[in-house]
Amino acid sequence: MIPSALNILYALHSRPPAATPLPLVDFVNLYVRLRHPHHYDPATWPLALWLTFVWPIPFAVIVATRRTRWRAWRRAIEVNAFFFALLFVALLGAGVFYVSETLIQMSLYRFSIYIKLFTCIGAAWWIMDTSVGRKMGSARVFAIISVIVACCGLLALIYASTLSHPTGLASFIQQNKGTLFAFSFTCAAAFPAFLFSSQPALRSATYLVTSAAIVALLVFCWHTGHIGFNIVPEDDAAYVALCQWTRDNTPSDAVFLVPPSEQAMRLIGRRAIVVNFKGVAQLSSEIPAWRDRLQNVLQLPDLTTLPHPFAQTLQAIRARYESLPPQHLFDVAVRYGARYIVIGHELGGQWKSARVGVDGSDSWFLYDLARAPADVSRPAGDTP
């Protein structure tokens, strides 16, 4: 508590001078519902996420009520009660109602990982402690559960693959079919390991198969870059190559007007940009500048009209940016002091002279305003 208090005091002392903050309702619309619904808007979280979080809780409660004489269980109950209280405050004050910017940014939902940990332990204890578990052996109970999970996963895959236009959960299954298949295969491989746990030779062989399945699952998830409900879209390889070329072939102090759906120019290209959707400001006093730049670049007076969730927002931003006329891109680049424009199609016409060759790239195009034709109208009176 003492080091945390010192950090908090230092942060309070070093905060920048207060600017005019956004009204709370605008902060919620922009920061919570548009930019971070996957973090701060429980109403948008998938049903599968809620179910996987909630299912162990009843079993853990049953075990906890039977083991209150054990000091370890009492301590576990006290710790869980504390984290449940935090989660209740978050859901009520920063989920159902949004009462404070500070409460939203405290991200109390992240403490739910401890509730998940304790309740999974409680559910496992319940399985071992039930009359079924004592008669059959906990390993066999787990074997039955593993094969049920495997069958459900495979049936869900088969069902989703038959739909030509999947929506909701079926769409999620199709997008993550590789991970779901690997997970179902791992559960199926675990079945004989649990079932033959009392026979040494078979147990060793089946544990080996199970371990191989788990390793295959981990390798697959590492290769695809995700294992979860929220898959963060990434820039394509051609754009990353453009960023790498930019890092080595443009002035280090140059500013770039980029598609606001991108995420790599500052990290890989190491160049300043006008704005992107990913790099949102954190405080309500800073968000108006981010909002205004996005609105000006996209010629979009109201950002809240963009679709949700995050992946669809990026797609809509990319489509909007690509549809803008070249003159607008030039004007907004000049307004914010940008020398270069990055876009996903060739501008052509009078803009050919401004194009910079990027190792023969035909999917991303770079234009240098210093080479822009003299007859391009330049906005008067605008400053970066």
| Cα distance between residue 337 and residue 23, in whole Å | 29
Cis upstream peptide for 56 (omega within 30°): no
What contacts 150, CB < 8 A, 6 or more positions away? 184, 185, 187, 188, 191
The string of pLDDT tens digits covering residues 287-316 is: 999 999 999 999 999 999 999 878 889 999
| R_g of the chain, CA atoms, integer Å | 27
C-alpha span between 201 and 190 (Å, rounded): 15
Asked if 5 contacts 270 with a C-beta cutoff of 8 angstroms, the reply is no
Q: H/E element holding 292?
A: helix 287-298
pLDDT at 375: 60
Beta-carbon count within 10 A of 61 CB: 15
pLDDT (tens digit per residue) in 255-272: 999 999 999 999 999 999
Q: Encode pLDDT of 95-119 as tens digits.
A: 999 999 989 999 999 999 999 999 9
Predicted confidence (pLDDT) at residue 25 exceeds the cutoff of 90: yes
| CA proximity to 175, closest of 35, 36, 46, 316 | 46
Q: What is the residue extent of each domain of the chain?
A: 2-224, 237-371
Q: What is the pTM of this model?
A: 0.73
